[in-house]
Structure 1
Amino acid sequence: MPETAISLLDAPRCHLGEGPSYDPATDTAWWVDILERRLFEAPLAGGAVRVHALPVMASAVAAVDADRQLLAAEDGLYLRGLADGQLTRFCPLEAEEAGTRSNDGRVHPSGALWISTMGRAAEPQRGAIYHVAGTRVTRLYGGLTIPNAICFAPDGATGYFADTDRGLLNRVALDPRTGLPTGEPATLYDHRGGEGGLDGATVDTEGRIWCARWGASCVDAYGPDGARLRTVRVPVSRPSCPTFAGPGLDRLLVTSAYEGMTPAERAADPEHGRTLLVDLGRLVDFDVRGLRAPAFRVSA
C-alpha cells in the first residue's frame, strides 16, 4: 500500500462513528459519533476539526441548503443551523419507541431521505427502513436487525440496502422521481459466512457500490451486477461508513468505531475509532469518482 494512500484525520476517536457527508462548496466533511452525541466538522484543506456536542444521539448528516443541514437522530429528524448550531425537530421518527434509534441513511437523487432505525441493543427484527419526503414518513421495510448500506444508483432507479445481521446486500427498483420502491427487493450479494459484516455504503459515478465491512478492516467495491470487484484494506478493524470527499470526489472518507471492543482488541487495533481519508487513485487500477450528494428537500 502506498504510504500516502490513507491518512488519518486529526480528530478525536469515535465510539461509534457514522453518517458522514461532504460539502463541496466549503470542502468540509461532517460525521457523527452516535453514542457520544457528537458532530464533527472537518475542513479538508486544513484547519482544526471542530467537535459539536449534541443533545440527542444522531446517526446521519445530510445537506439541506447553504444555511442548514439535516441530522437523523434517536427520536426524529432535525434541522441544524450551520451558523449557530441551533436544532429544530423537523419531524418525528419512532419518537414513541424509547428502545430504538436512527441508524444508516442517505438522500435519494429526488431529495427524499431513506433512513433506518434499530434497537438500541441491536435486538433482532426491531429495525426498519423509512422513506421521508418533506415531513411525510413512509415505512418501507420492517423486521430488520441492523439496517445498513443504504445508497442509490446514479440515475435513482435502483436502491441498495443490507441487514448486517443477515449478511445480504439487496437491490430494489425505484421510481427515480420519488425514491419509492416499484418492486420487491432481491439479493444482489450474499455475504453470509464471510468475514465481518456489511455496514454503510456509497455509490460512484459508474454505479459501483463501496461498502464498509465492519470487523474485517476493509471497504469492498461491488458492481451493479453484484460482483465483488475490489477490496481496499484500511487500518481500522471496524470501518462503519464511507462517503466520497475532496474537490474531485475521488477520495473516500471512512468513519470507524470501537463499540464493543475489549481492551485487548483496542490494543491490537491502535487506530480504532479514527476517521480516514482514502485516496482510491493510489489503491485501485481504475478511475473512481463519487457522486455529489443530493440535498434533502424540506418540502415534498
Structure 2
Amino acid sequence: MEQVPLTILSEHRCHLGEGPVYDPATGSAWWFDILERKLFEADIAAGSVTVRDLPLMASVLAPIDEARQLLAAENGLYVREAATGTLTLLQAFPDADPRLRSNDGRVHPSGALWIGTMGRKAEEKAGSIWWFREGEIRRIYPGVTIPNAICFSPDGRTGYWTDTNEGILWRVDLDPETGLPAGEPAIFFDHRGGVGGLDGAVVDAEGHVWCARWGGSCVDRYAPTGARVRTVRVPASRPSCPAFVGANLDRMLVTTASEGMSDEDKAAEDGWGRTYLLDVGVAGIPEPRAKAFSS
C-alpha cells in the first residue's frame, strides 16, 4: 500500500462523512456528515472549515450558479441559497418513502445529476439510482442496496457506479449530451471477495477512477481498462469518498466515517471520522454545474 503526503483538513469526527465536491468559483470544498445532518465548507487555500446544521439528512451538493446549489437529501432534491442556507424543495423522489435516504451522487458533464437512494438500514435492494436534469427525474437503476462510486469519464461517454453490497464496479456507455445510459452495464472491476467495500469515487484528468475502499483504509486507482494500478493509504479504516480540490485540482480530499465502529474500534484507530487532504500526484477535472431548471 502506497503512502503519500497528507494533512488533516478537518479534525471533526464524522459519523458518516460523504459527498465531497469542490467549487472552483469560490475555492470552497463541501461535504456532509449524513447521519448527523451536518454540512461542511472548507476554504482550501486558507485551511478553514465551517460546520452548518441541516434540518434533514443530505448527501450531495452541486453548484447551480453563483447564488444557488442543488442539494440531494433524504426525500428529494432541494435548491439551497448559498448566502443564507435556505432550502426549497425542487423535486421529491417519485418513490418518496420515509425509510429511504439519499446517498452517493455526482454531476455528469451534461449537467445531469445521478443520485442514489438507499434504505436507512441498508435494506436489501430498497434503493435506486436516479437521473435528474432541468426538472425531469428518471429512475435508471432500481433494486440497489447501497449505491456508490457514481462518477463519469472526462468526455461524458462513460459512467461508473457500484452497489457496495454486491462488490462490482460497473461501467456503462452514456449519451454525452444527456448523461443517460446508452447501453447495458458491464463489469469494470470485480471486487467480490476482496478486503473492504467499494464506496465513493471520482475520475481524474487522465480518465482513471479513484474509489474509496470502506474497511480497507485506502483509495484505489483504476485505469480505463479496469486494472487496479495504485492503492493509496488513508489513516482511517472507513474512507468513504474522494474529490479533487484546490486551485489546480491537484489535492485529493477524502471523507471518512465511524459508522459501525465500536468504542474499542475507535480506541484502536486514531484517524476515524476525520477529513484528509492527500497529495496523490494527479490532477482532477472541474465538477460541472448542475442544470436544475429547464431553459
Scaled by the length of structure 1, the TM-score of the pair is 0.95
41-50 vs 256-265, which deviates more? 41-50
What SS does the corresponding residue of 2:55 show, helix, strand or coil?
Answer: coil
Alpha-carbon separation, structure 2, partners of 1:267 and 1:92: 40
Q: How many percent identity over aligned positions?
A: 60
Equivalent residues in 2 for 1:229-248 (5 A)? Answer: 229-248=229-248
Shift of 1:49: 1.2
Deviations 1:23-63 (A, max 9, x none): 11222110000000000011011153111110010011111
Kept in 1: contact 2:4–2:232 (CA 8 A): no
- Does residue 273 of structure 1 match 2:267? no
Aligned residue identity for 1:289: A
- Structure-1 residue corresponding to 2:292: 298
Asked if the contact 1:74–1:95 (Cα under 8 Å) also holds between the matched residues in 2, the reply is: no
Q: Distance in 1 between matches of 2:274 and 2:13?
A: 5
CA contact (8 A) 2:76 2:91 kept: yes
| Alignment partner, residue 283 of structure 2 | 289
1:238 maps to amino acid: R
The answer to whether the 8 A contact 1:76-1:95 is kept is no
2:3–2:232 Cα contact (<8 Å) kept: no
Q: 1:3 to 1:166 in 2, by over 3 A?
A: closer
Structure 1 runs of 4+ aligned residues shifted over 3 Å read 1-4
8 A Cα contact 1:196 1:214, kept in partner: yes
Residue 85 (structure 2) aligns with = 85
Q: Which residue of 2 aligns with 1:176?
A: 176
- For 1:120, give the aligned amino acid: R
Match of 1:45 in 2: 45
Matches within 5 A, 1:6-155: 6-46=6-46, 48-94=48-94, 96-155=96-155
Contiguous gaps of at least 5 residues in structure 1: 282-287
Verify: 1:195 aligned to 2:189, yes or no: no
For 1:94 and 1:200, the matched residues in 2 are separated by 24
The 2-side partners of 1:130 and 1:188 are apart by 20
Deviation at 1:2, TM superposition (A): 10
Q: What's the CA shift string for 1:186-217, capped at 9, x where partnerless?
A: 11100000000000000011110000000000
Q: Distance in 1 between matches of 2:224 and 2:39?
A: 32
Q: 1:273 to 1:94 in 2, by over 3 A?
A: farther
> How far is 1:239 from its partner?
0.3
Aligned-pair CA distance for 1:268: 1.5
Pairing 1:252–2:239 present: no
Match of 1:208 in 2: 208
Query: Aligned equivalents of 1:237 and 1:118: distance in 2?
Result: 22
User: Could you tell which deviates more after superposition, 10-19 or 181-190?
Assistant: 10-19
Amino acid at match of 1:88: T
Give how far 1:95 is off. Answer: 6.1
Count, aligned residues:
294
1:264 match = 264
Q: Secondary structure at the match of 1:49?
A: strand
* Alpha-carbon shift at residue 11 of structure 1 (Å): 4.2
Name the amino acid aligned to 2:288: P
Report the secondary structure of 1:264's partner residue. helix
**TM-fit CA distance, 1:299:** 2.2
Q: Structure 2: which 5+ residue stretches go unaligned?
A: none
The 8 Å contact of residues 250 and 289 in structure 1, kept in 2 or not, is answered as yes
- One-letter code aligned to 2:70: L
Residues 44-101 of structure 1, C-alpha deviation per residue, up to 9 Å, x if partnerless? 1115311111001001111111111111100011111111111111111156311100
Q: Tell whether the 8 Å contact from 1:220 to 1:228 is kept in structure 2 after alignment.
A: yes
**Contact 2:150–2:162 (8 Å) recurs in 1:** yes
